Amino acid sequence: MQLAKVIGDVVVTRKDDNLTGITLLVLQPIAADGTPSGRTLVAVDAAGAGVGETVFFVRGKEASFPWHPTPVPADAGVVGIVDHWDLG
């Protein structure tokens, strides 16, 4: 998984039926030091996150696990909202 900032959302009316009612967020991945790291991407939201929050997201089929057994065609999903992280 990676840490990310939620930086926006996407409005899509014509889409696969299994995406109906699912929020699509635009994420900017961040490194452990909080700086942007890698490309922006679109993720489904399983955690109720909003713009400006720090989240962590999962890539791959695992992104659809929260909607199991619905075969949601997603390859990235927010699965938690981060309180804080510590570097030891």
User: Site residues (CB under 8 A) for a second copy?
Assistant: 1-3, 6-16, 18-19, 24, 26, 28, 31-32, 37-44, 46-48, 51-52, 56, 58-66, 68, 71-77, 79-88
Shortest reach from residue 67's CB to a second copy, in Å: 10
Furthest-apart CA pair in the chain: how many Å?
A: 46
**Whole-number Å distance between alpha carbons of 88 and 84:** 13
Closer Cβ to a second copy, 21 or 52, answer by number: 52
Closer Cβ to a second copy, 21 or 48, answer by number: 48
Looking only at the bridges linking them, the beta strands covering 24-30 and 41-45 are antiparallel
- Return the CA Rg of the chain: 13
Contact by Cβ (8 Å): 2, 29 = yes
Please give the DSSP secondary-structure letter assigned to residue 60.
S
Shortest reach from residue 78's CB to a second copy, in Å: 9
**Six-digit token string for 66:** 């929260």
Shortest reach from residue 21's CB to a second copy, in Å: 13
Closer Cβ to a second copy, 21 or 88, answer by number: 88
